[in-house]
Chains A and B, each alone.
Chain A
Amino acid sequence: MNIIEKFNQLSFVIGFFFIIIAVVLIGGYLLIAQLAHDENLYTGIGMLVFGLIMLKVKSE
Chain B
Amino acid sequence: MGLATFVAPRTRGWSGARAAIEEYVEEQQRHHRRALGLGQQAAATGEEREPMHD
Chains A and B bind each other? no
